[in-house]
Every structure is written in C-alpha cells, then in structure tokens.
C-alpha cells in the first residue's frame, strides 16, 4: 500500500508539473512552496511507514525463532536467521527505497536520510561483533594439551607416525581419530578393526587419540556449509586458502601443491606459529600428531580424500615466517 501510494503521488505530481501548465497554470512561489512542503512531508511519511512495516515484519520473524513450536518441530530451524544480517538488510533496503523516492521528488531531506541508512547498513554489514583473545592466552592454554600427549605416547612406547583415519573407518562421520602405532613401521588399521570406544588397539598395536586440531577442522566445515566428505580434495585445494586467509585470518598466505599422493602446504605468518614452535620441542607429539594447525589440516584432508593421511614432515623457514607441511595420502 505504501509503494502504491508513492506511485500514485508521483502521477499526481506529474499532473501538477506538466499537465496543468498546458491549461495556463501560472507558477507562483506562494502555492509552489506550500506544495513542495506538503509533498516532501507526504513522501517522508510514506518512507517511514515502509521502514516500520519492514522492521515489524523482521521482528515478527525473529520472535518466531525464539518460541517453541510443538506442531512443527522443524519450523524453528527453517526460521533461524542471523539478526545482524537481517538488520543490515533492512537498513540497506529502506535506504535504497528512500534514495529512489528522493530522486523522484527532488527532496534533499529524503536523500540525506537514504544515504544515512545505506551508510549504517554497510557499516554494520562489515563490522560484526566478534570475541577475540590475546595470542599469548591462546598459546598458554593450548600447550598443556600437547605436553599430556607426549606423556601418553611415552607411556605406551609409541614409535610410529600418526595416521589420521577417514570417516569410513569411524562410526561417527563427523568425528576424527588419529592412530599411532607402537612400531615405527607403517601399520594401517582396517575399518572393521577400529573401536572408537577404546584408547589402546591390540591388532595392530597402537593407540587411538582424538586429534588436537579436530575442533578447528569442524569450524572450517561449518564455515563451508557442507560436509568435508562431500567436497573432495580438488575443491579443498581451492577453498582452504580462502578459509585460512579471508574468513578466519589465520594466515597471510597459503600455497597448496598436490602431486599424486603427496600434498605440500606452505603457510606464511599464521597465528599458531608459537604453538607449533613449542610442539616441536616434544619429539613424539610433533612427529606423530603435529601442532594444532597441522592436525586440523590433516583432519580436513582425510575427510575430503576419504583416505588415511599421515603428516610426512614439517619444516620452518630460517626467518620463522613460513611453515612447510607435507602430507601423504595413504592407500587402503
């Protein structure tokens, strides 16, 4: 109704400024100034009414997300919206509509209102509320985990390299496990031999651990919006740099090279650099499991490739800025 009212007003305005002059209408500021004032007020209220209608609809939609709907249990998931994105969309939409009205009515007031709404909509779109912690706190809380892993590996005398198992080895396709054999020789478990409930495996001998980077890999998967098992290794080669550089700002640059079963990744200035340096002081953990970032990428590769993955080696450049990680995709 607001849009139709605005349209009909523009038609009426066209009659005043065009048709009536052909019937000898004499221009005078006495009637023109009053007409302009009333016309701008009318368009301003129409714009305000449109904005209030959109905001009311948005609030009803958001309110429905917070209520329990017993008759339709899946409705809540369907109505789930991002409140920040919703507000940005409302501000941008109302701002654009107001700008269009200001052009049609030659109203500077509406133009300023429209520009203000568009400006704040754009600001809110790019400035999202995020929680951050200091890097020193992140490093301090993460290192005890790797120290405990080193103790476990020493206790069980595990000498082999860790093998990150793909989802087809596990009962839960969303989880990840790394198998660390007791001997240095490569010993691959078969899918039917994996028991997720046990820490120690008898045949072949070794231990099954939850990788330290599994939580980070799940965050990557959530950001992608689909399961890593459905993406594939070639697609990961394209999407992983965007995740680490643009989406999460974990690293400044990343280069991925895939040759046969060897995946080589060079990461520059990543935020886990200090954790990786501390992990290298733990020989068995560094050799078998890797640091948080190495472990997370290994989880991603094992899910995307659908094959076991082993961290072949990890190196750091002399200036300490670039970390080179080499993974091997093992054949079952």
Query: What pLDDT is stored for residue 78 in this prediction?
Result: 46
pLDDT at 302 over 60: yes
Q: What's this model's pTM, rounded to 2 decimal places?
A: 0.61
How many alpha carbons lie under 13 Å from residue 91 in its C-beta half-sphere?
A: 17
Query: What pLDDT is stored for residue 193 in this prediction?
Result: 60
CA-angle at 20, arms to 18 and 26, nearest 5°: 105
pLDDT band at 327 (very low <50, low <70, confident <90, very high): very high
Q: Is 127 helix (H, G, I), strand (E, B) or coil?
A: coil
pLDDT at 268 over 80: yes
pLDDT in tens, 111-155: 788 888 888 887 777 766 666 666 667 777 777 888 888 898 888
Q: Tell me the mean pLDDT in the region 35-42.
A: 82
Where do the structural domains in the chain lie, given as residue ranges? 2-126, 135-329
Query: What pLDDT is stored for residue 72 in this prediction?
Result: 46
Query: What pLDDT is stored for residue 64 in this prediction?
Result: 57
| Beta strands, E only, 166-261 | 177-181, 200-201, 206-209, 253-259
Query: What pLDDT is stored for residue 131 in this prediction?
Result: 63
- d(C-alpha 61, C-alpha 166), whole Å: 40
Please list, in sequence order, all residues whose beta carbon lies within 8 angstroms of the beta carbon of residue 130, skipping any fewer than 6 positions away.
none
Question: Which one is predicted more confidently, 129 or 49?
Answer: 49
pLDDT at 244 over 70: yes
- Whether the CB-CB separation of 94 and 50 falls below 8 Å is answered with yes
- d(C-alpha 267, C-alpha 59), whole Å: 44
Q: What percent of the chain has pLDDT over 70?
A: 85
State the CB neighbour count (10 A cutoff) for residue 174. Answer: 13
111-115, 269-273, 288-292, range with the lowest pLDDT: 111-115
pLDDT in tens, 65-117: 544 444 444 444 444 456 667 777 888 888 888 888 777 777 777 778 888 88
User: Which two structure tokens, joined as six digits, stand for 164?
Assistant: 């990150």
Query: What pLDDT is stored for residue 71 in this prediction?
Result: 45
CA-angle at 89, arms to 83 and 94, nearest 5°: 130
- The CA-based diameter of the chain, rounded to the nearest angstrom, is 104
Residue whose token pair is 């994105």: 85
Per-chain mean pLDDT for the chain:
80
Query: What pLDDT is stored for residue 67 in this prediction?
Result: 47
- The number of residues in the chain equals 332
Query: What pLDDT is stored for residue 75 in this prediction?
Result: 46
Query: What pLDDT is stored for residue 52 in this prediction?
Result: 80
Query: What pLDDT is stored for residue 186 in this prediction?
Result: 61
pLDDT in tens, 199-219: 777 777 888 888 989 989 988
Please report which residue ranges of the chain form alpha helices under DSSP H.
Answer: 2-14, 20-22, 29-65, 75-78, 83-105, 108-126, 135-155, 214-224, 233-242, 273-279, 283-288, 292-305
Among 103, 105, 101, 102, residue whose Cα is nearest residue 3: 101
Q: What is the CATH number of domain 135-329?
A: 3.30.1380
């Amino acid at each position: 109704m607001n849009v139709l009212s605005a349209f009909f007003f523009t038609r009426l305005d066209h009659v005043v400024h065009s048709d009536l002059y052909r019937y000898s209408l004499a221009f005078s500021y006495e009637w023109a100034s009053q007409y302009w004032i009333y016309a701008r007020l009318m368009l301003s209220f129409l714009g305000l009414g449109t904005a209030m209608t959109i905001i009311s609809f948005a609030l009803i939609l958001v309110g429905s997300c917070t209520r329990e709907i017993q008759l339709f249990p899946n409705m809540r998931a369907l109505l789930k919206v991002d409140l920040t994105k919703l507000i940005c969309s409302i501000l941008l939409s109302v701002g654009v509509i107001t700008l269009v009205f200001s052009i049609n009515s030659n109203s500077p007031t509406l133009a300023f209102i429209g520009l203000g709404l568009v400006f704040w909509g754009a600001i809110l779109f790019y400035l999202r509320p995020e929680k951050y912690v200091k890097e020193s706190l992140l490093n301090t809380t993460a290192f005890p985990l790797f120290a405990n892993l080193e103790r476990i590996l020493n206790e069980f005398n595990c000498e082999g390299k860790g093998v990150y198992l793909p989802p087809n080895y596990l009962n839960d396709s969303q989880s990840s496990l790394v198998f660390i054999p007791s001997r240095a020789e490569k010993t691959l478990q078969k899918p039917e031999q994996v028991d997720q409930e046990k820490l120690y495996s008898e045949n072949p001998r070794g231990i099954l651990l939850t990788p330290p980077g599994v939580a980070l890999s799940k965050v990557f998967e959530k950001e992608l919006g689909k399961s890593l098992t459905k993406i594939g290794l070639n697609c990961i080669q394209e999407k992983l740099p965007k995740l680490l550089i643009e989406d999460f700002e974990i690293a400044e640059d990343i280069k991925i090279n895939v040759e046969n079963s060897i995946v080589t990744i060079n990461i520059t200035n990543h935020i886990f650099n200090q954790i990786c340096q501390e992990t290298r002081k733990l020989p068995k953990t560094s050799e078998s499991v890797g640091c948080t970032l190495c472990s997370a990428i290994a989880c991603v590769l094992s899910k995307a490739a659908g094959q076991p993955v082993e961290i072949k080696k990890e190196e750091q450049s002399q200036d300490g800025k670039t970390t080179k990680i080499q993974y091997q995709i093992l054949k079952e």
